[in-house]
């Protein structure tokens, strides 16, 4: 095991080691090629993302062995989770970027490593910066000036090509970059139907707890107007239950089932049969109120889930229709009744605001929450987020709600929905996310020059 040379780096080393020691791995690490796989967010977020694990495994199959890195603002050296190799000893820095708000973390890492931030300013001795991840589906503009190579879309479709490119880059940067000019960057979904993406380590620090994560569906059959998934992850692909059964029958650990929404999984009952038969505890990443079944809720409850989560998104039917959410209030009530029937006492709702909500919409919201209280839910919490009109969705071009309107909305919620836990997303962070959505490549270059 590598240890820091300077005592001042020991804190950072010990911090990474704590997470490294927490991992129970199902595949042996092979590495030390000088390739880093960086998730530019905290360990908690990184380990909750199946992609951090799955991308590493995809490369391993091709004989390329990246080491995993994560981000904290106070880090200076950035040690790998596997061998504690400092980040600046790598020749290739691969970023798995999924959220605009992590974009500045990428810049911070490059700055700390003294790597020129704009790809045009790098020379033959600079490390190669490769960026992939969900961001490439909806906001490639912000990464284009930074990345030497952008790997767009699903990695499975091009992992052979990218691995060959990495081998070339390790031998000769100029030739490697030339090779990458021929990368085919199509965005259509890879068919995961025959091969189940699954995580290869467990850690108690993940948001899901110590669960093996499996991805049973890629893309979404819906088209909610605010959602990048609905418009960009097509065609939708599902893993067949027989493939999931092969995995589950040898699994002793609880499972985190990842999909856009489990209630749209075409063989939901077969999946539940399998989970029941092998006595597997599980959680789901998302479900829609219109597809909820008593059986699904019962099994989730049995698996230890305490809070029932529903995303009406719009505070009234009028707003839900604008969002194209395709859920009506009767479906919401029916899903909530089912929740009570199986014994849930705690419910959490997700809302999006900033669509011109008026008095009538707010009144409808108040009535809805009062009815939920009457159903017997003891704890009701709300998560309220401003609409970020994302690129490559029909809402792109709309303005974000103003800070003043947002504050008025907050005031109304606190005054009118008493006894409810309400969490409003930070306006500052939402605005930042919005700004990154409206910047073009030139704006990003200017932003980097100005800020860094």
Site residues, ligand SF4 (CB under 6 A): 220, 222-224, 227, 229-230, 260-261, 288
46 versus 220: smaller Cβ distance to ligand SF4? 220
Q: How far is the CB of 382 from ligand SF4 (least distance, A)?
A: 17
Q: How far is the CB of 58 from ligand SF4 (least distance, A)?
A: 23
Q: How far is the CB of 236 from ligand SF4 (least distance, A)?
A: 9
Q: What angle do CA 141, 146, 150 make, to 5 degrees?
A: 70
146 versus 258: smaller Cβ distance to ligand SF4? 258
288 versus 391: smaller Cβ distance to ligand SF4? 288
261 versus 437: smaller Cβ distance to ligand SF4? 261
Q: What is the dihedral of CA 98, 225, 426, 452, to 10 degrees?
A: 40
Are 218 and 189 in contact, with CB atoms under 8 Å apart?
yes
Both tokens of residue 379?
A: 């704890």
SS3 283: strand
Give the strands of the sheet with 128-132, arranged side by side. 67-70, 35-39, 92-96, 128-132, 149-151
Q: How far is the CB of 201 from ligand SF4 (least distance, A)?
A: 26
220 versus 365: smaller Cβ distance to ligand SF4? 220
Looking at residue 264, what DSSP letter applies? G
What element of type H or E holds 168?
Answer: helix 159-171
Both tokens of residue 363?
A: 């009144």
177 versus 329: smaller Cβ distance to ligand SF4? 329
How far is residue 62 from each of residues 90, 107, 179, 368, 416, measured CA to CA in Å?
19, 29, 17, 53, 57
Are 255 and 215 in contact, with CB atoms under 8 Å apart?
no
Q: How far is the CB of 188 from ligand SF4 (least distance, A)?
A: 17
- What span, in angstroms and rounded, lies between the C-alpha atoms of 202 and 313? 32
- Closest CB to ligand SF4: residue number: 230
133 versus 217: smaller Cβ distance to ligand SF4? 217
- What span, in angstroms and rounded, lies between the C-alpha atoms of 186 and 174? 24
Q: How far is the CB of 17 from ligand SF4 (least distance, A)?
A: 37
The number of residues making up the chain comes to 452
Are 57 and 29 in contact, with CB atoms under 8 Å apart?
no
Q: How far is the CB of 375 from ligand SF4 (least distance, A)?
A: 24
Q: How far is the CB of 19 from ligand SF4 (least distance, A)?
A: 29
173 versus 288: smaller Cβ distance to ligand SF4? 288
223 versus 366: smaller Cβ distance to ligand SF4? 223
Helix axes 403-416, 427-438, angle to 10 degrees: 140
Q: How far is the CB of 127 from ligand SF4 (least distance, A)?
A: 35
Q: How far is the CB of 296 from ligand SF4 (least distance, A)?
A: 16
Pairing of strands 201-202, 24-25: antiparallel
Sign of CA dihedral 71, 74, 79, 82: negative
113 versus 329: smaller Cβ distance to ligand SF4? 329
How far is residue 272 from each of residues 237, 301, 368, 370, 425, measured CA to CA in Å?
19, 13, 31, 33, 34
């Amino acid at each position: 095991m590598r240890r820091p040379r300077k005592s001042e780096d020991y804190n950072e080393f010990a911090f990474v080691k704590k997470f490294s020691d927490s991992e129970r791995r199902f595949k042996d690490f092979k590495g030390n090629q000088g390739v880093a796989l960086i998730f530019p967010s905290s360990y908690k977020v990184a380990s909750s993302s199946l992609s951090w694990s799955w991308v590493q495994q995809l490369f391993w199959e091709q004989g390329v062995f990246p080491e995993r890195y994560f981000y904290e603002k106070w880090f200076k050296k950035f040690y790998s989770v596997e061998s504690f190799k400092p980040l600046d000893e790598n020749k290739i820095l691969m970023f798995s970027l999924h959220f605009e708000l992590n974009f500045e973390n990428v810049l911070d890492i490059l700055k700390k490593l003294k790597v020129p931030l704009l790809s045009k300013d790098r020379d033959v001795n600079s490390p190669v910066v490769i960026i992939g991840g969900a961001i490439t589906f909806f906001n490639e503009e912000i990464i284009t000036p930074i990345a030497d190579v952008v790997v767009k879309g699903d990695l499975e479709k091009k992992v052979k090509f990218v691995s060959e490119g990495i081998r070339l880059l390790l031998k000769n940067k100029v030739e490697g970059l030339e090779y990458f000019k021929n990368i085919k960057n199509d965005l259509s979904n890879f068919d995961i139907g025959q091969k189940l993406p699954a995580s290869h380590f467990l850690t108690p620090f993940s948001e899901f707890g110590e669960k093996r994560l499996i991805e049973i569906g890629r893309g979404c059959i819906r088209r909610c107007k605010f959602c990048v998934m609905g418009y960009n992850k097509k065609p939708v692909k599902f893993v067949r239950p027989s493939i999931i059964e092969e995995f589950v029958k040898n699994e002793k650990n609880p499972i985190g089932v990842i999909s856009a929404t489990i209630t749209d999984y075409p063989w939901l009952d077969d999946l539940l049969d399998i989970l029941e038969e092998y006595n597997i505890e599980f959680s789901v990443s998302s479900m829609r109120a219109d597809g909820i079944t008593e059986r699904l809720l019962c099994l989730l409850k049995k698996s230890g889930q305490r809070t029932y989560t529903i995303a009406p998104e719009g505070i009234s039917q009028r707003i839900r229709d604008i969002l194209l959410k395709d859920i009506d209030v009767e479906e919401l009530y029916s899903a909530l009744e089912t929740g009570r029937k199986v014994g849930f006492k705690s419910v959490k709702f997700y809302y999006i605001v900033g669509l011109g909500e008026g008095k009538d919409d707010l009144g409808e919201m108040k009535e809805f929450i009062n009815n939920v209280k009457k159903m017997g839910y003891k704890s009701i919490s709300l998560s309220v987020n401003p609409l970020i009109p994302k690129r490559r969705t029909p809402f792109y071009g709309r303005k974000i709600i103003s800070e003043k309107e947002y504050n008025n909305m907050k005031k109304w919620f606190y005054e009118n929905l008493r006894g409810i836990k309400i969490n409003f997303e930070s306006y500052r962070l939402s605005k930042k996310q919005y700004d990154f959505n409206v910047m073009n490549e030139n704006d990003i270059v200017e932003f980097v020059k100005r800020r860094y």
